[in-house]
A = this chain, B = another copy of it.
Amino acid sequence: MRKVIFNRYIISMANKRKIINDPVHGFINIPSDLVFDLIQHPYFQRLRRIKQLGLTHLVYPGALHTRFQHAIGAMHLMMSAINVLRSKGVNISDKEAESAYIAILLHDIGHGPFSHVLEDTIINDVTHEELSRLIMNRLNVYTGNAITDAIAIFENSYPAGFFHQLVSGQLDMDRIDYLRRDSFYSGVSEGIIGSERIIKMLNVVDDKLVIEAKGIYSIEKFLVARRFMYWQVYLHKTALAAEMMLISILKRARLLVSHGEDLFAPPQLRFFLKNNIGYEDFMHDTKTLDNFMILDDDDIMSSIKSWISADDHILSQLSGDFVNRNLFHIELRNEPFPEEEIERIRTAVKEAYNLKDDLECNFMVYSGSVTNNTYSPSDENINILYNNNELKDITEASDMLNISVLGKISRKHYLCYPKTVLSREQ
């Protein structure tokens, strides 16, 4: 039987290190003992081993920063935002401020390794938001219900709605931190935004977050920078190819395990490969979350390396190509690929790799589409506050931003397959 590890965790009472050195924001102060204890908790420390941008470092080698750094950085921005709002006369108690810090600190606590990859492969239809909520509830018990309000802010059930908007909205501290941080570590300077300036423009009207009118150009820049980062970094085609290979590898591994094959994997990963885990399991079996809480990027990468020597030639091929960065060819288009083009590639791949049927071919040829929408007005607005106290949505206030475009989802179609076939094709 596996032991539960967290009983062993002892909160250190003395010497609470209060400053963290962050290359992006400089020295970050930890605002309270409760926050310190949450950061020290194994659930939060785990985020040190989960990269913020998954496989993007295969394209931008510096993009190795973790969800740990991002969560701390977003909390730092929340501290600035609370300061700015208070200086404008918004009434925020110390308790509320601490709850806001904790809400943003924990907003991504439910992320597993290679977030969306995982959600599509080794667990079934469980979102990281659902997991965040589960984990926060455990932490609430752990802290003697000290984070009840933080959870309410996270879930948008706290009366003063602007707190939730600061955690999760069109202009939240999450996005402001990740844009700057992802820019910094990828070396893509175009994503740098004037976070200080945006935060200085925040205000609250009727418990809603607004931006003062003179901040309108900053918001335009923020939205364009975000769009830039989407196409240049987040949906970079080479990183997409790597991600699709990873999905294939995990699906193949799970299939093999379900057929009784004894693939190497550490217990925390084997658990998810062997069992068919869904939301109900997380709810009703504490072992499920216990296992999830020690699963991270390292387990996935370490296992895939060992699978290079697997007997299954598809898993072996995919794992070797993935580990050695011999990534598949990928093409993006605005229009869907013609069926016959896809079929031609599939036939070539089947032949080249001795695949016996379409099912096997699905592991080696991927087609579909990805989307990005920078600003979704249906969802929630960025409201601009004018001197006469009038409010306007940013898409109305800005004569620059094309509302019909910003509200529209951009869709790109892809076709992805081994490079060896490409060279025969051309």
Contacts and interface: CB of A to CB of B under 8 A. Distances in A.
B305 A268 contact: yes
A66 B58 CA distance: 12
Contact of A325 (B40, B69, B192, B320): B40
14 contacts: A20-B61, A21-B62, A21-B187, A23-B186, A27-B197, A40-B325, A48-B58, A48-B61, A61-B66, A61-B72, A64-B66, A217-B227, A221-B225, A399-B405
Contacts of A114: none
Contacts of A62: 21-24, 65, 69
A45 interface: yes
Interface in A259-274: 264, 266-268
Interface in A1-50: 2-3, 5, 8-10, 12-14, 19-24, 26-27, 40, 42, 45, 48-49
Contact of A190 (B26, B27, B221, B299): B221
A196 interface: yes
A201 to B, nearest CB: 12
A402 B324 CA distance: 43
A129 interface: no
Given A3-B309, A21-B60, A22-B62, A419 B267 contact: no
Contacts of A296: 301, 305
A301 to B, nearest CB: 4
Given A190-B218, A221-B228, A402-B405, 9 more contacts: A12-B419, A27-B200, A64-B66, A217-B228, A227-B400, A266-B305, A298-B301, A298-B302, A402-B402
A185 interface: yes
Nearest to A47: B61
A96 to B, nearest CB: 22
A64 B65 contact: yes
Interface string A382-426: 000000000000000001111001101010000000011001000
A68 interface: yes
A306 B399 CA distance: 45
B324 A45 contact: yes
Nearest to A217: B228
A21 to B, nearest CB: 4
Contacts of A68: 61
B399 A400 contact: no
B192 A189 contact: yes
B187 A190 contact: no
A5 B310 CA distance: 11
Given A10-B326, A221-B190, A19 B200 contact: yes
Contacts of A69: 61-62
Interface in A61-86: 61-62, 64-66, 68-69, 72
A406 to B, nearest CB: 8
Interface string A315-354: 0110011011110000000000000000000000000000
B196 A27 contact: yes
A347 to B, nearest CB: 21
Contact of A264 (B72, B266, B402): B266
A420 B65 contact: no
Contacts of A60: 21
A423 to B, nearest CB: 7
Contacts of A197: 27, 189-190
Nearest to A188: B21
B48 A57 contact: yes
Contact of A26 (B14, B187, B267, B298): B187
A-B pairs, top 5 by smallest CB distance, nearest first, are A23-B187, A302-B302, A42-B324, A298-B298, A298-B301
